[in-house]
Amino acid sequence: MAKPDKVAAVAEIADRFRNSSATVVTEYTGLSVAQLSQLRDALGTSAKYRVAKNTLVQRAAQDAGVEGLDDLFVGPTAIAFVEGEPVDAAKALRDFAKDNSALVIKGGYMDGKALTVDEITRIADLDSREVLLAKAAGAFKAKLSQAAALFQAPASQVARLAAALEEKRKGEAGDGAEAPAES
């Protein structure tokens, strides 16, 4: 018979799987409690980092309909349940793993598909949502400025042409008026 605390743990992990935009499975062997705390701080509010028993996580993944991660649940396992932008959490995990070789990223899950370590690295290399939106806004603004200049060009060309014609007429009128006065 299943113990109530284990049933509750499986239910909680299954809910996290269902409510997360992505998950990243890691191995944390060799990390101290202080380092795990630093990792949780680095993840901030974008992800919850949880250490759990492999059998409980496997059962919770099955309950949540998450498939393809069973190979990752070997050895000491901790999972980052990403609640915000997957890019931000992937960057935090990648950067922490660079500084602390004891943290090993095993794989992950996003959009109904298991992710490899390379795919998580590529996600971490992406710009964040805010940066992408700022770049898009800048591109739109540049295109609008180009369009405004294009629409304004014929009017300014006509104005320059009219000014040149007026200048030419003044020059011709000035030459004709001075010639009879000198004679």
Q: How far apart are the C-alpha atoms of 32 and 40, rounded to whole Å?
A: 12
Q: What is the b/e burial string over 112-124, where b = at least 16 CB atoms within 10 angstroms of the residue's CB?
A: eebbebeebeebb
Q: How far apart are the C-alpha atoms of 62 and 41, rounded to whole Å?
A: 29
- Residues 96-130: pLDDT tens digits? 888 888 888 998 998 888 888 888 888 888 777 77
What CATH class does 4-126 carry?
alpha beta
Record the pTM.
Answer: 0.67
* DSSP conformation class of 46: S
Locate the domains of the chain by residue range: 4-126, 129-183
Quick one: which of 73, 74, 66 has its CA closest to 113?
A: 66
- Residues 64-80: pLDDT tens digits? 888 888 888 888 889 99
